[in-house]
Amino acid sequence: MRNFLLYSCLLITLTSYADDESLGRAKADSLCSLCHGPQGLAILPNAPNLAGQQPIYLNEQLKNYRSGKRPNEVMGVIAKNLTDSDISQLVEWYSSIKVTVELP
Ligand code: HEC
């Protein structure tokens, strides 16, 4: 019984991570990919890459855009409509993308 409960908790935890990531991906596809690219590598020359970025950093920046602490014409408007759970899901998605680095 104890093991069953442990496994259930683990399963629920794993499932909720997977959900956040795929929900975030769907939101990113429709709201962010135009500028930040479908893989989190920016298409717009003045937009930053988000793929593989630190989750704490992403979370903080999105909340700063939303509150106006980090003022930006474009991101301010976009972040204004994001809920806390939108932000967690988007952060989950972008930070889960694996990036590899090649030194010159
Ligand atoms: C119309 C283009 C556009 C769209 C759409 C867009 N962004 Fe941005 N984003 C930008 C630009 C431009 C910047 C740089 C702003 C600045 O200088 O602060 C930026 C910056 C950011 C940053 C800060 C990154 C850093 O390195 O500090 C985050 C995080 C971010 N965007 C997330 C998102 C998310 C999540 C979405 C979708 C909900 C989104 N953006 C949609 C253009 C866009």
Best of 78, 85, 89, 95 for a ligand 1 pocket test (most atoms within 8 Å of beta carbon)? 78
Which residue's C-alpha comes closest to atom 6 of ligand 1?
Answer: 32
Output the tens digit of pLDDT for each of the chain's 104 residues.
666 555 555 455 555 555 899 999 999 999 999 999 999 999 999 999 999 999 999 999 999 999 999 999 999 999 999 999 999 999 999 999 999 999 99
Separation between Cα atoms, residue 90 and residue 104, nearest integer Å:
31
Separation between Cα atoms, residue 51 and residue 53, nearest integer Å:
6
Residue burial 29-68, b: 16+ Cβ < 10 Å; e: rest: eeebbebbbeebebeeeebeebbebeeeebbebbebbbee
